[in-house]
Structure 1
């Protein structure tokens, strides 16, 4: 497995503490508080290593840069805010989703992304 460095530990800690999936620039900004001279190339190397170790996963929102979160969060979905472009976790998942499939189809998995505006971006 990949080498454990102070930089990688800081990046892993940022992702562990994050309330939602983060982009590499967001990870860099937060991890730089613990490791001031952290570079973007180091962030990408650490992300690649953490993915290889299956400690993090990519959250892909169509048309957006990839975001990353820890792999141990369990099944959940995401909400993308059009205003601030942040991604939020949606912890609940309806058990009735399989009913949306056509008759006689078997649903094996699903991924849901909700789009709209977060409370900070909603018009008054």
Structure 2
């Protein structure tokens, strides 16, 4: 049985309000606004519990620390901003992406990550 604490509730709310994959540092920064004194060890412990409960799932991008997002969402891909490092969900999928595999290959699953500038980072500086 897992306990529902103020810290765990603040961590859940961080994911619900962000509605995108979060790193542990992002979770800490967001959840600290609701719970003074929240530490990174508590964030790690609660994220592990939420993954074990299958409320969260791990999002792995090549060469980066894992991020986490709420489980149970429809199939989707991710976009990582080169400037701010945030990761966003891209809803939907490229039609017939499996057709890229050579004849005779059987595609089980796939991941697509797009890289570039998010809407905030891609804006030209104000004059």
1:34 aligned residue: 34
Instruction: Give yes or no for the alignment of 1:121 onto 2:121.
Output: yes
Q: Do 1:16 and 1:69's aligned partners in 2 also have CA atoms closer than 8 Å?
A: no
1:59 aligned residue: 59
Q: Secondary structure at the match of 1:98?
A: helix
**How far does residue 123 in structure 1 lie from its aligned partner after superposition?**
7.3
CA distance in 1, matches of 2:63, 2:109: 22
Q: TM-score, normalised by structure 2?
A: 0.89
Question: Please, which runs of 5 or more residues in structure 1 have no aligned partner?
Answer: none
CA distance in 1, matches of 2:103, 2:74: 29
Q: TM-score, normalised by structure 1?
A: 0.91
4+ aligned runs moved over 2 Å, structure 1: 119-124
Question: Please, which runs of 5 or more residues in structure 2 have no aligned partner?
Answer: none
- RMSD of the TM alignment (CA)? 1.5
1:82 aligned residue: 82
2:73 aligned residue: 73
